[in-house]
Amino acid sequence: MDSRRDFLQKLTLGIGATALTDLPATARELYSGPKADKQLRVAIMGLGSYGTRVAEAMKDCKMATLVGAVSGTPAKLEDWKKKYNIPAKNTYNYETVSKIKDNPDIDLVYITTPNSLHYKHVLQIAAAGKHVLCEKPVADNAKQTREMIAVCEKAGVKFYIGYRMHFEPHTRELIRMREAGELGKIMHVNNYMGFKSGDPNQWRLKKALAGGGAMMDVGIYALNGARYATGEEPIWVTAQETKTDPVKFKEVDETIMFQLGFPSGVVASCGTTYNFNNYERLYVIGEKGFVELSPAFSYGPIKGRTHNGPMNQPVITHQTLQMDGIADIILNNKPDPNVSGAEGLKDMIVVDALYESIRKGGAKIMLAGK
């Protein structure tokens, strides 16, 4: 398997007609009816594989519509103008993107550029007065994230993170069961996410662009999953790194095992890797029952079971749900399912502590006051 994209795409199920026939009536109606009268007008910044995935998913959105694109590659902009019917006046490169402030036809910019560019690009878009949706991880560290939040607040724009799982039906059902007390007191969480990284020249293996390795890229899923599985914030962490290929992974981490301790006494045992496949699961054990999702974090279809039997939630393209969900939050003032910049900051505080633990030989790092 050559890349994270190949790994995630292997598990992808689109929202075509075949998928729709398997959905409950309410879901079929949502994604077969007319588009909403009021729509969030979106430009995508960074036209790589993930930006393209979002663009394709948005074809089925009812409350969000793709109207703009930002790229440093002229050929990509030309292709997107034709493929997605984007007006030339709504396309920008990285040198001209500040001019987006003068374009009243764009409401929000979705930043899908490499991780370490998020900080710079969020500040640019906020300065242009547009709402911001930024792919995770939000930044290289908590310090950058705090500044990003402050700049967006000062500019009066909304700032959200691409936590698509917070809109995914199986994940939402897990959270509902936990909040309803159907699992009882949470006793243990076991989460992991990883894959075998292929191309040694890809940007994800270059710290200047990626910020970190497996932990930043896909370990963030296991970390965020532990937080929504418990409904708590960790108060201590420990982490250990192993590296089997010090040449390929010279600049970034390869495999990290980490533990999160929560106020209730729950300990989450988590892991992430760039070294092997078939490593993806979220398992929550409570006094009254359990939830297991596997696959748990990839593009889908997510599959799950509980102490009551198999889960049977709708299968809808995650990015479609996410973009309509963000539109609903902004346009209709709907509740935020924990996808704000503040949610991203909570994860980055923990990520900083995990890397600190590794530097200190796996020492327990307390999070109080961080």
**Which 8-state DSSP code applies to residue 215?**
I
CA 294 to centroid of chain Cα atoms = 17
Burial class (CB in 10 A: 0-12, 13-18, 19+), 101: middle
Report the alpha-carbon distance of residue 60 to residue 319 in Å, rounded. 10
Report the alpha-carbon distance of residue 294 to residue 12 in Å, rounded. 13
40 φ/ψ sector (left φ>0, alpha ψ -120 to 50, else beta): beta
63 CB-side CA count, 13 A: 15
Residues designated catalytic: 136, 221
Which residues are bridge partners to 310 per DSSP?
Answer: 305
Report the alpha-carbon distance of residue 62 to residue 279 in Å, rounded. 34
Q: DSSP readout, 281-336?
A: EEEEEESS-EEEESS-SSSS---EEETTEE-------HHHHHHHHHHHHHHH-PPP
